Structure 1
Amino acid sequence: MAANSFRNNKVHPAPNNVDIDENRGRQLTEADIYNADFETAISATKFGKFNVILFLLSIPAGWTSMFETTTMSYVFPAAHCDLNLSLNDKGSLNAVTFLGMVTSGFVWGFLCDTLGRKKLMVIGYLIDAMFVIMSSFSQNYTLLIIFKFFGGFIINGPFAALTAYMSEFHCSKYRSRVQLGRGMIVSCGTMVLPLLAWAILPQKIDIRLDDNIVLHSWNIYLLVCAIPSLISGILFIFMPESPKFLMTVGRNKEALAVFKQVFSINTGKSKEEFPIKHLVDETKLERVDESRHGGHITANRSKSLALKEGFQQIKPLCFPPHLKHIILVCTMQSMYMLSINTLRLWLPQIFQSISDYEYYNNGTTASLCTMLEILNSEKDSDEGCYVNFSASVYLNTMVISMVSMSGYVVAGSLINRLGKKPLLAILSVFGGLFAISIYFAQNTATVLTLASLFLSFGGICGNVILTIVIDLFPTKLRTVTISLVMMLGRSASMAGNLVFPLLLNLGCGPPFFSIGSIVIGCSVLAILLPNTDLKALK
Structure 2
Amino acid sequence: MGGSDKPRRSFDLDEPVEFDEAITLTGYGRFHYESLVVCAICVLTVGFQNGITSYIFPAAQCELNLESSQLGFLNVAFLVGGMCSSFFWGILADGSGRRKVLIASLLLNSMSTIVLSVSNHVMCLTICRFLNGFLVGAPGTVIFSYLGELQPPKLRSGIICGAAVFFTSSWLLLPILAWLILPLNINLTIGSWFIISPWRLYMIFLAIPEALVGVWFIRLPESPKYLLAKGRNQEALDILKKMFASNERKDPDDFPVKLLYSDVAVQSNGYGQKESEKKFSRLLGEMWFQIKNLFKTPLLFVTFLTCTIMFTNMFGVFGLGLWLPELFIRFQEYADIYPNETVSLEKLTLLTIVKNQTCDSTFDLSVIQNTVAMGITSLITSVFSGYISTKVSIKVIPFVCMLSGGITSLSIYWLKSATQNLIVACIFQAAMIVGNMSLSGVVVELFPTNVGAMAMCLAMFMGRMGAMTSNVVFGLLMDNHCEIPIFAVAVNVLFGAMLCLIIPTSQSKTSKSTNSYREGRTVEISLVSLPYNDKTKNTNVI
Q: 1:338 deviation in Å?
A: 1.3
**Which residue number in structure 1 is paired with residue 117 of structure 2?**
136
Pairwise CA distance, 1:334: 0.6
Of 24, 27, 36, the residue aligned with 2:10 is 27
Q: Alignment partner of 1:494: what SS?
A: helix
Question: Residue 89 of structure 2 contacts residue 454 of structure 2 at CA under 8 Å; is this kept in 1?
Answer: no
CA distance in 2, matches of 1:481, 1:403: 30
User: Which of 273, 277, 296 is the equivalent residue of 2:254?
Assistant: 273
Identify which of 46, 51, 54 aligns with 1:65. Answer: 46
| 8 A contact 1:73–1:348 mirrored in 2 | no
Tell which has more relative contact order, 1 or 2 (C-alpha 8 A, sep 6+).
Answer: 2
State the shift of 1:432 in Å: 3.2
Equivalent of 1:123, from 104, 117, 138?
104
Relative to 1, partners in 2 of residues 1:28 and 1:298: Cα closer, same or farther, differing over 3 Å? Answer: farther
Give SS of 1:31's match.
coil
User: Equivalents in 2 of 1:414, 1:248: separation in Å?
Assistant: 30
Aligned AA (1:116): G
Q: Deviations over 1:112-140 (max 9, x none)?
A: 13332222222211101001111112334
Stretches of structure 1 that go unaligned for 5 or more consecutive residues are: 1-16
Whole-angstrom distance in 2 between the partners of 1:133 and 1:454: 33
Change (3 A) 1:64 1:329: same
After the TM superposition, which of the residue ranges 488-497 and 172-181 deviates more from structure 2? 172-181
1:115 maps to a residue whose letter is S
Hey, what's the Cα distance between the residues in 1 that align with 2:222 and 2:396?
Answer: 41
Contact preservation (8 Å) 1:42, 1:259: yes
Is contact 1:184-1:405 (8 Å) kept?
yes
1:69–1:98 Cα contact (<8 Å) kept: no
Segment of structure 1 superposing worse, 346-355 or 189-198: 346-355
Most deviating of 157-166 and 95-104: 157-166
* Counterpart in the other structure of 1:245: 226
Deviations 1:94-152 (A, max 9, x none): 33222111101111122213332222222211101001111112334432222111011
Deviation track 1:230-267 (CA, whole Å, cap 9, x = no partner) reads 11112122223333333444444544443333332222
One-letter code of the match for 1:344? G
Deviations 1:339-367 (A, max 9, x none): 211222333455466778899x7999984
1:465-476 equivalences in 2 (<5 Å): 465-466=439-440
CA deviation profile, 1:19-60 (whole Å, cap 9, x unmatched): 965xxxx3222224xx55534543343221111111122232
The counterpart of 1:221, out of the listed 202, 206, 221, is: 202
Aligned-pair CA distance for 1:194: 1.9
1:226 aligned counterpart, secondary structure: helix
| 2:323 alignment partner AA | W
Q: Indicate which of 489, 498, 506 corresponds to 2:463.
A: 489
Q: Trace 1:437-476 onto structure 2 (pairs within 5 A).
A: 437-463=411-437, 465-466=439-440
In structure 2, the CA distance between the partners of 1:378 and 1:18, relative to structure 1 (3 Å rule), is: closer
Q: 1:406 corresponds to which residue?
A: 380
Measure how far apart 1:433 and its partner are.
4.2
8 Å CA contact 1:249–1:297 kept in 2: the answer is no
Q: Partner of 1:234 in structure 2?
A: 215
Q: 2 CA distance for matches of 1:476 and 1:212? A: 47
2:161 match:
180
Return the match for 1:197 from 166, 170, 178.
178
1:435 Cα deviation from its structure 2 partner = 2.2
Does structure 2 conserve the Cα–Cα contact (< 8 Å) formed by 1:125 and 1:233?
Answer: yes
What are the superposed Cα offsets for residues 271-304 of structure 1, whole Å, 9 maximum, x if unpaired? 3434444555x5xx785xx9xx996998898744
2:292 is aligned with what amino acid? K
Task: Report the residue type matching 2:316 in the other structure.
Answer: S
Give the % identical residues.
Answer: 29
Equivalence map 1:241-320=2 (5 Å): 241-277=222-258, 279=260, 287=265, 303=279, 304-305=281-282, 307-319=284-296
- Partner SS state of residue 184, structure 2: coil
> Conserved in 2, the CA contact under 8 Å of 1:91 and 1:498?
no
Tell me, yes or no, if the aligned pair for 1:121 and 1:161 is still in contact at 8 Å: yes
Contact 1:100 1:152 in 2 (8 A): yes
| Matching residue's letter, 1:312 | F
Give 5+ residue unaligned stretches, structure 2.
Answer: 512-542
State the distance in 2 between where 1:81 and 1:92 align.
16
- The count of aligned residue pairs is 504
- Show the counterpart of 2:324: 347
Q: Structure 1 residues 73, 352: closer, same or farther in 2, change over 3 A?
A: farther
Is this contact kept in 1: 2:155–2:390, CA < 8 A?
Answer: no
TM-score, normalization by structure 1: 0.79
What is the identity, as a one-letter code, of the residue corresponding to 1:326? T
Residues 368, 348 of structure 1: alpha-carbon distance in 2 compared, 3 angstrom cutoff: same
Deviations 1:449-472 (A, max 9, x none): 121122233334445555655676
Partners of 2:377 and 2:434 in 1: how far apart? Answer: 12
User: Secondary structure of 1:27's match?
Assistant: coil
Structure 2 residue matching 1:208: 3-state secondary structure: strand
Which residue of structure 2 aligns with residue 518 of structure 1? 492
Q: Does 1:537 align with 2:518?
A: no
Q: Is the 8 A contact 1:18 1:44 kept in 2?
A: no
Aligned to 2:74: 93
Q: State the shift of 1:211 in Å.
A: 4.1
Q: Which has the higher helix share?
A: 1
Q: Calculate the TM-score normalised by the size of structure 2.
A: 0.78
Bigger mean CA deviation after superposition, 101-110 or 73-82: 73-82
Partner of 1:435: 409
Change (3 A) 1:90 1:439: farther
1:134 and 1:375 mapped to 2: Cα distance?
37
